[in-house]
Structures are given as C-alpha cells and as structure tokens.
Amino acid sequence: MPEISFLNVNGVLVNKEIAETKFTCDLSKCKGGCCTLESEFGAPLKMEEISFITDALPEVLPLLPPEHRAIIEEDGFFEIKNEELLTRSVNNRSCVFVYFENGIAFCGIEKAYFQKKIFFRKPISCHLFPIRISQLGGDILRYERFSECRHALEKGKETGISILEFCKDSLIRQYGEAWYSELEGKARE
C-alpha cells in the first residue's frame, strides 16, 4: 500500500499528490464531466455561498436550460443530504447550474461572473476541483480521482502543470496568497 504523506501549511494538511500529480483540464475531451458526474449528490456548498448564489440568480437563471431553471424555480438550487449542503442535480447527473455549449458542460454562475454581472465566481468546491476538502480537526486537502479526468492527467503530462499550479487561483481564493506561497515553497523542498 502506498504511503500517504502531507504538507502542513498553517494547520491545513495538503496531500503531496496535489503537488506531484500533473493535471490540466481538456474540455474538448472530457466535455465538462466534473459538472455532470452521475450521482445523487450535487456539488458541496458552504452556508455563506447560499446567499451569494441567491443574489446572483436573476443574472444566472437566463443562462440555464429551461429544465434547469424550472427545477430551481420549483425546488430551489440546493438541498441537504446526509447533513451536507449540496447543489441540486438534474436526473442525478448535471448540476442544476450547468448549461451546454457545443456539447460541453459549463457553469452558469461562472459565465455570469465572467460577464461581470455578479461578483461570486462559483462554489469553492467547484473552483477547487479536483481538490476536495475533508474535515478532521481542520482542513485536509486531497486529490479526488475520477475516470472522467483521465484526459486531464494525460494533458497534464504534456503541459507539466501540477494540480497545485492548476488550482492556484482557487487555493488563493480559499486560503490567501501568503498561504499559497508557503505551500509552493514546501512542495519544492
């Protein structure tokens, strides 16, 4: 069994795989598979994200397919399962905020953000993907493997970009510039 090792950055444990694994999304091949994973569970949400998303709905809803809008309007965009806040999914597949362009799944929240209509980019769990945060007396960051991301591993070998580098913006959003710089330094040691 392989040894699991972590970098400790100000009390946040980061699995070394995040610094070592090469990863670069290839949307032309995966088609946005991370937003359409088959599961009864949607993307994890933080309580404070609920109000940000609620405020953004007038700008986001027109970007979504009619079926997705109807679900949000009838049932809301989130649910609680196993005591966890999650986005709703459509038919246990697509996140309720997904829209499609040329057969590729994209995030409607993020589209409104890039159009400068809202200030909230998207849930941090989505922004950090393929990194997941677990709790065990503090944050533990781990790389979550999905077969849908096999193309990202192949492209990562070509680009030489690690998950750590690929997720730089989201890690800075979550923990700050100084924390990220310290993580980079520890990863190079």
- Domain stop point among 86, 120, 154: 120
Helix (H, G, I), strand (E, B) or coil at 103: coil
Number of domains in the chain: 2
CA distance 108 to 148: 21
Give the pLDDT band of residue 3 (cuts 50, 70, 90). low
pLDDT per position as a tens digit, 34-87: 898 888 888 999 999 999 999 999 999 999 999 999 999 999 999 999 889 999
Residues 46 and 110 in one domain: yes
In DSSP terms, 8 is beta-bridged to 13
Q: Does 64 reside within a domain? A: yes
**H helices present in the chain, as ranges:** 17-20, 27-30, 47-60, 66-75, 108-114, 124-128, 150-159, 163-166, 168-175, 177-188
Task: Indicate the burial class of 11 (C-beta count within 10 angstroms; 0-12, 13-18, 19 or more).
Answer: exposed
* Residue 155 belongs to domain spanning: 1-23+130-189
For tokens 């057969």, the residue is 103
Helix (H, G, I), strand (E, B) or coil at 93: coil
Q: Does 4 reside within a domain? A: yes
Q: Does 125 reside within a domain? A: no
pLDDT per position as a tens digit, 91-123: 988 999 999 999 999 999 999 999 999 999 999
